[in-house]
């Protein structure tokens, strides 16, 4: 008695069956969608399976040792008298299971199919960390699927303008009562950062995810902003179970009761882009169902359209530095659209699972492709204790020092060996199994380091180890993290200073990765650096894991865990250098001579220009004169901008109120007035920028 589980898997919308090979990486690994996966999963004519036992077929192992076979759920019908039947057959009880008989056309021996039965109790155990009721998204404007595109655009621009004004006041020395001090500036920045986090939460999924991405960019934003934005991870409200059920049924094209033996309405987790429900398949397999927030694609389209305009404005404005804001926007937009494609996430999970198939202490959930689509993802239920829950870990007697080391070691394997890494390893995405294995969740944000990039990163590591600033700069240029401007002498000095300070410390005094991130932010403000998102994800991930390590074990040392891997790389490099040391030195001297020769015409030209300016009297010293007058003028402009913002916001609220009441004339007038005041705010900002440019010219 048995047949292979899921021996036939159906592409949704297709009449052709595909054979599934159970090799252990997903429930239907043949289904990573060669061809048009959207067309395959977009059809409403999806077909699901229920468990069936067959007496005549040879015995083959199924899930957990059971002999099972799956048949299309469309064959299951109900008689009018309420008795379960398949093709009109009457139900039977065999070995305690409620099964029904189905005979073929020629009257051959029957097959027995498990019939739906009334639920007598939960098949799901209580969650490892107990039941936790998540906050609801009701009351948030972005949770309404019928929100106005105009109103949403107004909300986005109001937020950006308000943030810009706050940042200007934070950086204005004249705006501090009793005089400017760095402590006062940090305190005010913390207040602005707290306001920023709350505003981002109010703006909803797009900005929550962008906030999380921004928390990885220590090279772009102050430490206060990065710290506050990192707190967005666990403060995301859930949407209603009714919405979740409707959405699942719409996406998968079948009723919940037909797909699942049990479905838990209360989500066990909620993220910025979706939430997770526990469920049980009809074959008894415990799973989790990740459901995307309804209307998310429309919200993304509106928000990213406005953010593109904002990025283009930042790019043209010198007051926002020399960062490639349009490039940063494009990176973020690509990541966001990839994250709402759950087929892509399922592929990531399968690949990540294959990478760690030979490492027993890393667990990755299986993907159930037959119950997944573009906006719904079904995974194996793998419960565990969150990696930062110290009391729960201690109660189970887990070795916290070993867990900390394993978390770092697993990430080193991803970066240095497989090249495919989890880009968001915060505590909500890491858990500990009963055997102290590391469990990974959420594979929407993954990074990949190509072979060329990995080779260059290793070269960068060697050059940092050798404290060779020129090599570091060359590798950074190859990695497109440094823009090759005309004269890089000042950059080389900054890099050399960074290397001297980083490597001159004893192991006990080594900087944390978070502090290194701060140094990168400080350097990138004045130098032509542009760190790719891959780098920032890696730095942020290691910084997060290092923090988790210190929480788990106060004596934790990142250097000690990474030392064997670093030594392995150094030994490999030394073996490659064996017998070629002299050749390498000669080549290095030749490269240095070539670089000096090529840069000589540029240096001579600079000297000639300097002498000409000196002769003509055009050379000016940068001195600060009449600074107080310019500061007063700037203060007046900013005060007017603040007043314009308040008036514009007031008219905007009046317009929204009258618009809801049906008074279109008054509402339209208020919107026009709000637009005028917002234009005045932008004009004021331009005047401030002109004053800044004039100040730089003096």
Give the closest residue to 587 by CA, choosing from 471, 464, 458, 489: 471
Neighbours of 478 (CB within 10 A): 15
Give the closest residue to 254 by CA, choosing from 8, 10, 36, 89: 10
Q: Determine the 3-state secondary structure of 84 from DSSP.
A: strand
b/e burial code for range 84-122 (CB count within 10 A of at least 16 → b): bbbeebebeeeeeeebbbbeeeeeeebbbbbbbeeeeee
Give the closest residue to 307 by CA, choosing from 171, 423, 200: 200
- DSSP annotation of 674 reads H
Q: Determine the 3-state secondary structure of 238 from DSSP.
A: strand
Query: Which residues are paired to 76 by β-bridges?
Result: 86
Q: What is the C-alpha separation between 44 and 333, in angstroms, rounded? A: 29
Residues 6 or more apart in contact with residue 667 via CB below 8 angstroms: 654, 655, 656, 658, 659
Q: Per the residue annotation, which of 137, 303, 350, 424 is the catalytic one?
A: 424
Query: Which residues are paired to 17 by β-bridges?
Result: 10
How much of the chain is helix, strand and coil, in % rounded to 5? 55, 10, 35
Phi, psi for 74 (deg, rounded to 5):
-65, -20
Q: Kind and range of the H or E element at 102?
A: strand 97-102
- Region of 12 (left: φ > 0; alpha: ψ -120 to 50; beta: rest) is beta
Give the closest residue to 193 by CA, choosing from 175, 177, 170: 170
Phi, psi for 50 (deg, rounded to 5):
-125, 160
Q: What is the C-alpha separation between 356 and 346, in angstroms, rounded? A: 16
Give the closest residue to 592 by CA, choosing from 500, 672, 474, 503: 474
Give the closest residue to 668 by CA, choosing from 219, 246, 150, 202: 150
Quote the Cα angle for 150-156-159, to 5°.
140
Neighbours of 238 (CB within 10 A): 24
Query: Which residues are paired to 276 by β-bridges?
Result: 269, 290
H helix intervals, 30-173 = 37-42, 149-171
Q: Kind and range of the H or E element at 113?
A: strand 111-114
Specify whether 424 is catalytic.
Answer: yes
CB 118 within 8 A of CB 59: no
CB 107 within 8 A of CB 65: no
Q: Kind and range of the H or E element at 109?
A: none
- Region of 431 (left: φ > 0; alpha: ψ -120 to 50; beta: rest) is beta
Q: What is the C-alpha separation between 91 and 83, in angstroms, rounded? A: 7
DSSP-derived pairing of the beta strands 385-386 and 76-78: unpaired
Q: What is the C-alpha separation between 650 and 653, in angstroms, rounded? A: 5
Q: What is the C-alpha separation between 381 and 367, in angstroms, rounded? A: 10
Q: What is the C-alpha separation between 3 and 61, in angstroms, rounded? A: 7
Q: Which residues are catalytic?
A: 424
């Amino acid at each position: 008695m048995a047949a292979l589980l899921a021996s036939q898997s159906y592409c949704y919308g297709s009449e052709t069956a595909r054979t599934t090979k159970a090799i252990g990486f997903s429930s239907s690994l043949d289904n990573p969608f060669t061809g048009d996966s959207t067309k395959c999963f977009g059809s409403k004519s999806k077909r699901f399976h229920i468990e069936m036992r067959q007496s005549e077929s040879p015995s083959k192992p199924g899930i957990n040792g059971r002999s099972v076979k799956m048949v299309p759920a469309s064959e299951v019908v109900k008689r009018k008298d309420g008795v379960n039947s398949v093709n009109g057959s009457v139900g039977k009880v065999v070995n305690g299971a409620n099964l029904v008989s189905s005979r073929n056309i020629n009257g051959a021996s029957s097959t027995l199919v498990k019939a739906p039965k009334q639920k007598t109790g939960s098949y799901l155990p209580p969650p490892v960390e107990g039941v936790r009721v998540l906050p609801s998204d009701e009351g948030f404007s972005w949770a309404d699927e019928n929100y106005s595109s105009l109103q949403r655009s107004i909300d986005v621009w109001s937020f950006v303008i308000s943030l810009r004004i706050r940042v200007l006041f934070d950086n204005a020395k004249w705006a501090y009562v009793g005089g400017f001090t760095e402590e006062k500036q940090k305190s005010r920045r913390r207040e602005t950062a707290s306001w920023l986090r709350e505003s981002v939460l109010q703006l909803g999924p797009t900005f929550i995810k962008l906030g999380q991405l921004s928390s990885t960019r220590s090279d772009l934003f102050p430490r206060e902003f990065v710290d506050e934005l990192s707190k967005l991870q666990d403060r995301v409200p859930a949407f209603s179970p009714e919405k979740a059920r409707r959405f699942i049924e719409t996406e998968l094209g079948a009723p919940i009761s037909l797909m699942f033996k049990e479905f838990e309405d209360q989500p066990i987790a909620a993220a910025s882009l979706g939430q997770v429900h526990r469920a049980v398949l009809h074959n008894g397999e415990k799973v989790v169902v990740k459901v995307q927030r309804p209307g998310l694609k429309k919200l993304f389209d509106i928000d990213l359209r406005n953010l593109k305009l904002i990025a283009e404005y930042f790019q043209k404005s010198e007051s926002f530095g020399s960062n490639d804001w349009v490039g940063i926007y494009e990176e973020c937009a690509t990541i966001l659209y990839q994250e709402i494609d759950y087929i892509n996430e399922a592929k990531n999970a399968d690949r990540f699972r294959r990478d760690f198939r030979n490492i027993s202490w890393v667990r990755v959930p299986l993907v159930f492709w037959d119950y997944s689509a573009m906006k719904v993802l079904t995974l194996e239920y793998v419960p565990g204790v969150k990696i930062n829950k110290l009391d729960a870990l201690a109660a189970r007697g887990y070795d916290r020092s070993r867990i900390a080391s394993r978390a770092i070691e697993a990430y080193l394997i991803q970066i240095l060996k497989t090249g495919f890494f989890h880009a968001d390893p915060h505590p909500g995405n890491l858990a500990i199994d009963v055997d102290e294995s590391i469990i990974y969740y959420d594979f929407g944000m993954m990074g990949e380091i190509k072979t060329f990039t990995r080779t260059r990163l290793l070269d960068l590591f060697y050059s940092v180890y050798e404290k060779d600033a020129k090599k570091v700069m060359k590798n950074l240029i190859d990695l497109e993290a440094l823009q090759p401007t005309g004269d890089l002498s000042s950059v080389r000095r900054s890099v050399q200073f960074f290397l001297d300070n980083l490597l001159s410390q004893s192991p006990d005094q080594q900087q944390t990765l978070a502090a290194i991130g701060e140094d990168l932010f400080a350097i990138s403000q004045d130098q032509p650096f542009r760190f790719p998102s891959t780098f920032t994800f890696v730095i942020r991930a290691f910084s997060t894991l290092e923090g988790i390590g210190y929480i788990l074990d106060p004596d934790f040392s990142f250097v000690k865990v990474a030392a064997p891997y670093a030594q392995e790389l150094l030994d490999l490099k030394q073996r490659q250098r064996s017998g070629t040391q002299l050749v390498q030195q000669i080549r290095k001297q030749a490269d240095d001579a070539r670089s000096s020769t090529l840069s000589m015409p540029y240096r001579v030209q600079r000297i000639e220009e300097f002498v000409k300016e000196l002769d003509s009297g055009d050379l000016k010293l940068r001195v600060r004169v009449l600074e107080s007058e310019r500061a007063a003028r700037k203060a007046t402009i900013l005060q007017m901008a603040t007043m314009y913002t308040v008036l514009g916001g007031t008219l905007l609220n009046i317009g929204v109120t009258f618009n809801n009441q049906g008074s279109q004339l008054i509402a339209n007038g208020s919107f026009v007035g709000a637009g005028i005041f917002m234009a005045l705010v932008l004009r004021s900002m331009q005047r401030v920028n002109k004053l800044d440019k004039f100040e730089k010219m003096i």
